[in-house]
Amino acid sequence: MPERDAPLLSIRDLRITFRTRTESVRAVDGVSFDVYRGETLGVVGESGCGKSVTMLSVLRLIPPSTRVETSGQILFDGKNLLQASKREIRHIRGRRIALIPQDPMTCLDPVLKVGRQIREALEAHGKLDAAEVERRGVALLETVGIPEAGRRYDQFPHEYSGGMRQRAMIAMGVANAPSLLIADEPTTALDVTIQAQIMDVLRAAQRDTGASLVLVSHDLGLIAEMADRVVVMYAGHVVESAAVQAIFSAPRHPYTLGLIGSLPQTTGNEKWLRPIPGSPPDLAHVPSGCPFHPRCFLARGREICRTTRPELQSVAAGEHRSACHFVAELEGASAVPAATHGGGAA
């Protein structure tokens, strides 16, 4: 486990609301978590719970065309990025924090060849001669599994497939040797061999530079294997956070239990099974009280679940936090036998 000095990234009470003519979507509603130096933080939660919006807001990449209200703090090395100037953000983006977005087109420049964009990333760290830059750029594309990397280096992003674009973003992110890498679903569209290759690239980058990694993924097997700590999000909230072993062996939130219960019983490419009844709420109409109450097996019609939002609070040693009024009833709960976890969490 990495040392616990001051966090590199500290998100405090982040709230992000999208406004349309008719409604407000509270995509992120009071999210707080820390990322420590050198660690891998896994972020999990069903589709639409605010993971990508949280990550995009770190680098202020939420599309400017939307009407959005943001409050709270995103402290990076002590500096509040929500109040940094555009110039400061541009300087931090890529050099100190690299985001590999779920949709690579949010960050790739469509009018510049991929090679040129990688070159800019490499040159941000000092002058290199042109041949050396190209050699390193092509080698990076090779390490992320892009076939015919020499030819691909001279192509535009639109000539790449979606999966290749994402891999090109990973190459660029790694080229910068940032102190924080945020990878939002970096392997979803990729086959298993390439997935493993991408994870090796991220691990190697982390090992070489001591970077922190935030890994957003639906793949709990991957999270179990890669993460040191895990943050579980539901409907724009953090509902549980803990060391990876605690999340998988002693989850203390009914939602996490449901998620882990949905781990495939064998590793591989099976679809994510879903024993949690119902689906996550529309964020324009989040349920009152605990946002999970309509789906929660533990709520059993209890009034407090319908009326009062539970705070995220410490439930056990080792910074294990959960937001559930009845967390004590989950003591000793486990989702699936440890032997079936598939990853390194057992």
Ligand X SMILES: Nc1ncnc2c1ncn2[C@@H]1O[C@H](COP(=O)(O)OP(=O)(O)OP(=O)(O)O)[C@@H](O)[C@H]1O
| Interface with Mg ion, residue 166, by CB under 5 A | no
Cβ 123 vs Cβ 137: under 8 Å? no
Strands 67-76 and 212-216: unpaired
Tokens standing for residue 178:
């940032």
Single residue of 10, 54, 102, 241 touching Mg ion by CB under 5 A: 102
Tokens standing for residue 294:
């309509």
Phi then psi for 208, rounded to 5 degrees?
-70, -30
Residue nearer to ligand SF4 on the CB measure, 320 or 325: 325
Q: 131-138: long-range contacts (C-beta < 8 A, 24 or more apart)?
A: 136/175, 137/171, 137/175
CB of 63 to ligand X, least distance (A): 5
CB of 50 to ligand X, least distance (A): 4
Total site size for Mg ion, rule CB under 5 A: 3
Partner in contact with 10, chosen from ligand X, ligand SF4, Mg ion, none, beta carbon below 5 to 8 Å by kind: none
Q: Which residues, in sequence order, are bridge partners of residue 75?
A: 10, 80
Partner in contact with 310, chosen from ligand SF4, ligand X, Mg ion, none, beta carbon below 5 to 8 Å by kind: ligand SF4
Tokens standing for residue 105:
């087109």
- Interface with ligand SF4 in residues 198-257 (CB under 6 A): 254
The residues that touch ligand X, with contacts defined as CB under 6 A, are 18, 25, 27, 45, 47-53, 63, 66, 102, 283
Q: Which residues, in sequence order, are bridge partners of residue 17?
A: 26, 69
The 3-state DSSP class for residue 68 equals strand
Specify the residue for token string 């400061």. Answer: 88
| Interface with Mg ion, residue 217, by CB under 5 A | no
| Interface with Mg ion, residue 52, by CB under 5 A | yes
Single residue of 26, 37, 119, 293 touching ligand SF4 by CB under 6 A: 293
| Interface with Mg ion, residue 195, by CB under 5 A | no
Sign of CA dihedral 38, 58, 217, 118: negative
Q: Residue type for 150, please?
A: G
Residue nearer to ligand SF4 on the CB measure, 272 or 297: 297
CB of 76 to ligand X, least distance (A): 20
Residues lying near ligand SF4 in the complex (CB under 6 A): 254, 290, 292-293, 296, 298-299, 305, 310, 324-326
